[in-house]
Amino acid sequence: VENYTIAVDAMGGDYGPCVTVPAVIKALADLPHVQIILVGNSNQITKILQKYHYNPCQLTIKHTTDVVMMNDLPAMALKYKTASSMRIAIDLVKTGQAEACVSAGNTGALLAISRYVLKTLPGIDRPAIIGSLFATAEQKNLQILDLGANVDMSAKNLYQFALMGSVLVSVVENITRPKVGLLNLDAVHPAANKIVQQTDALLASSTEINYCGLLTPQKIFSKDADLVVCDGFIGNIVLKVAEGSASYLQFLLKNNFKKYNWLTKITAILIDPLIQSVFKTISSDYCNGATLLGLQKIVVKSHGNAGVMGFTQAIKHATIQIEKKVLTQFAARLNNAP
């Protein structure tokens, strides 16, 4: 295996270096051919590093004190936080010192800075975000795009993202011809929306994409598709409502089991690991790592609240994309596109 380097924004996410540093150590142990540049406050980073054993040849620290905050406006972060850990990590990818960047920081800022610094692929105006919703029972993740904020995307753009997303799903999930579905709100009147109508036609005529047709929101979870395509506004709602209802149901289950008699209480104790295991499959610790699609380089976004296991997943997500040369595959597919 070739050696390569990944730049990690050590300060991003809800927990910063407390999560990112142990996750990097864990990833490096599993991936001896990978080098990581930890970008962030070197005092904080080294303090945590001292607790771990690792191969020092695999790890570099790039010191910087500025940080993009979770509530920074993307445009402001782009303009003023040019010395932030997020920006420096992306710059390292631009200059070729790293092959990919991984960050758990502010999504809007990551999109804006990546787009500005790394540029988009020909014909694509803004990057989209592809990520997984719940993992299915067979451990295949359902992937959905766009989870970013691309409102008013053209049918051509949606089609391009479907092409790239298809490559990514086949690589990441190891599916030869992933089934691609197009989200449509209305089961009765297919494609009332004009963009959906046009995208549907483009996808249906494609030989590169294994298109399985329109999907209503109820059908997202039915495994009819490996990849669901929709615009960023809808994708965002889908993601957040799915997360919200899952944690609400977990709460309901726990509450119900507690409230009955001694038999149900004992059963609740017995069954708890099973319930945990089900809900673990849908947590950000299990399936984590969204990809900014349509950039000239690889940028992976970790869930802000991911723990060590989750952030390690996000790093590995980047390594798979580097090793399988997804960028070359994207370019080839886009060249063939209508």
Cβ nearer to a copy of itself, comparing 70 with 337: 70
Which residues in this chain contact a copy of itself in the complex, by CB under 8 A? 70-71, 73, 106, 108, 134, 136-137, 185, 188-189, 216-222, 233-234, 236-238, 240-249, 251-253, 255-257, 260, 263-264, 267-268, 270-271, 274-275, 277-278, 281-282
Provide, rounded to whole angstroms, the least separation between the CB of residue 200 and a copy of itself.
18
DSSP character string of 7-61: EEETT-TTTTHHHHHHHHHHHHHH-TTEEEEEEE-HHHHHHHHTTS---GGGEEE
Cβ nearer to a copy of itself, comparing 83 with 266: 266
Provide, rounded to whole angstroms, the least separation between the CB of residue 103 and a copy of itself.
16
How many C-beta atoms lie closer than 10 Å to residue 178's C-beta? Answer: 23
Cβ nearer to a copy of itself, comparing 209 with 287: 287
Enumerate residues 6+ apart whose C-beta is below 8 A from 107: 129, 148, 301, 304
Provide, rounded to whole angstroms, the least separation between the CB of residue 247 and a copy of itself.
7
Cβ nearer to a copy of itself, comparing 177 with 265: 265
227-248 CB burial, b ≥16 within 10 A, e <16: bbbbbbebbbebbeebbeebee
Provide, rounded to whole angstroms, the least separation between the CB of residue 35 and a copy of itself.
33
Cβ nearer to a copy of itself, comparing 22 with 74: 74
Provide, rounded to whole angstroms, the least separation between the CB of residue 290 and a copy of itself.
16
205 DSSP assignment? T
Enumerate residues 6+ apart whose C-beta is below 8 A from 160: 123, 124, 294, 334, 337
